[in-house]
Amino acid sequence: MITVADGRVAQTGMELPAEVRFTTTKQLVQYSGAAHDPSGIHYDGDYARRRGFDDVIVHGFLKAGFLADLATRWGGHGSWFVSLRARYQGVDVVGAPITCRGRVTDVDAAHHRVSLELWTENADGRRTTVVTGDLQLTEKEG
């Protein structure tokens, strides 16, 4: 039996609490610098529109980071990803809601590990980033 941060027992099919994130141009500029990703599509609206986007778009890796953050907080202090794979299926524009969701796809009680499918949804409810991975949970003492 594996319990997560909120005290519930992890079970296959269990959904993680959804979370909505909003990005700002300032945040994307800061992330561009940290990620060494100087593409103007992430911070220059005119450039992004010339490239065919409606506005500045959010980095795929940043959305994957939002999902990893959701999962590790759900898993509890000290949880970490043993493996993580991301697939980018669509764009999210700056300032629009990005809903982060997830569910448990497998529970490995012997190794205190859960497999997860995580995804972001845009304002239209379409999945834009899908992450799968195995989350190692710390064993609670006592």
pLDDT in tens, 48-94: 999 999 999 999 999 999 999 999 999 999 999 999 999 999 999 99
pLDDT of residue 16: 97
Question: Alpha helix locations (H) across 42-134?
Answer: 45-50, 60-75
Count of CA atoms in the C-beta half-sphere (13 A) of 69: 11
Q: How far is CA 31 from the centre of its chain?
A: 15
pLDDT of residue 142: 39
Edge-first strand order for the sheet with 98-108 is 19-21, 98-108, 113-121, 127-136, 80-88
Question: Which domains can be identified in the chain, with CATH numbers?
Answer: 19-23+57-136 (3.10.129.10)
pLDDT in tens, 88-142: 999 999 999 999 999 999 999 999 999 999 999 999 999 999 999 999 998 764 3
Measured over the CA atoms of residue 60, residue 62, residue 63 and residue 64, the dihedral's sign is positive
pLDDT of residue 140: 64
List beta partners, residue 134: 83, 115
- Asked if 83 and 68 touch (Cβ cutoff 8 Å), the reply is no
User: Which tokens hold the place of 74?
Assistant: 């759900």
- Asked if 71 and 16 touch (Cβ cutoff 8 Å), the reply is yes
